[in-house]
Amino acid sequence: MIVAQDLGLVSLSAPVAAGRRTAAELQSLALEGASLLADAPAEEIARWAASTFGSRFCVTSSMADAVVAHLFSRVAPGVDVVFLDTGLHFPETLKVRDIVATTMNVNVRSIRPRMTVGQQDGEFGPRLFARSPDECCFLRKVEPLERALSDYDSWATGLRRDESPTRANTPVVAFDAKKGKVKVNPIAAWTQSDVDSYIARWNVPVNELFKKGYGSIGCWPCTRRTKAGEDPRAGRWAMFEKTECGLHV
Ligand code: SF4
């Protein structure tokens, strides 16, 4: 799954199209990309995305690890990396964000919710995450992502098919009709072993919580340690049926 070293670099400042693309044009590009790149290496997918969408493209990262940010920093130096700063992250997660910002050739954009945690407590009552996590995720993740993505036609994620049954059919490129944008998942086909190899090969920053028994890392109120052999995502919203924050649906 790990590939070519000699990559032509993509200049993100180059104009990619005369004027803004319509949803129909983006859909057509997504179809083309999906067919062209279904079995392509991650670097090739990343290169296609950065060169196709230029400055209208960003990477999103939860800062559980910095694999996808690193991948794009090699292919498209200076690329925007959007991080949703919910105000409820573990310090270890913010540390990865800060290391990425200071050591990689990317532009980290920390996007905050409209309300601070205190303001949200005042308006909705304290610990909304314990009563209505969907509402809390909407306020602190979904709305901020939608706001951030208004600057772009396409975004990349670190989603992988082997992460959970709900992600088993993740395509490498798809048109998100709800958002009207092209979603790119360059490491969709990677296994955990591919990720570990990439991290070791490039010395990519990883959240220290993985060494402390966490299998998947989100906001601290909704994340617990997982046991050996347990589904890594079982540690997210463990008191609820909820398995996704709403960013990928
Ligand atoms: Fe709120 Fe939990 Fe969602 Fe974070 S993961 S936004 S704390 S419900």
pLDDT in tens, 105-150: 999 999 999 999 999 999 999 999 999 999 999 999 999 999 999 9
Beta carbons within 8 Å of 136's beta carbon, 6+ residues apart = 120, 128, 129
Q: Please report the atom of ligand 1 found closest to the CA of residue 222.
A: 2
Distance of CA 128 from the midpoint of ligand 1 (Å): 8
- Give the C-alpha distances (Å, rounded to integers) separating 207 from 55, 145, 200: 28, 22, 14
What residue owns the CA closest to ligand 1's atom 5? 219
Kindly list the catalytic residues.
245
- What pLDDT score does 11 carry? 73
- What pLDDT score does 108 carry? 98
- What pLDDT score does 166 carry? 86
Task: Kindly give the pairing relationship between strand 181-184 and strand 173-176.
Answer: antiparallel
- What pLDDT score does 177 carry? 97
Q: Please report the atom of ligand 1 found closest to the CA of residue 218.
A: 5
Domains with residue ranges and CATH for the chain: 19-211 (3.40.50.620)
- What pLDDT score does 6 carry? 43
- What pLDDT score does 4 carry? 36
| Residue 184 β-bridge partners | 156, 173
**Most ligand 1 atoms within 8 A of CB, residue of 141, 216, 248 to mutate:** 141
Stretches in the chain below the pLDDT threshold 70: 1-8, 13-19, 232-234, 236-249
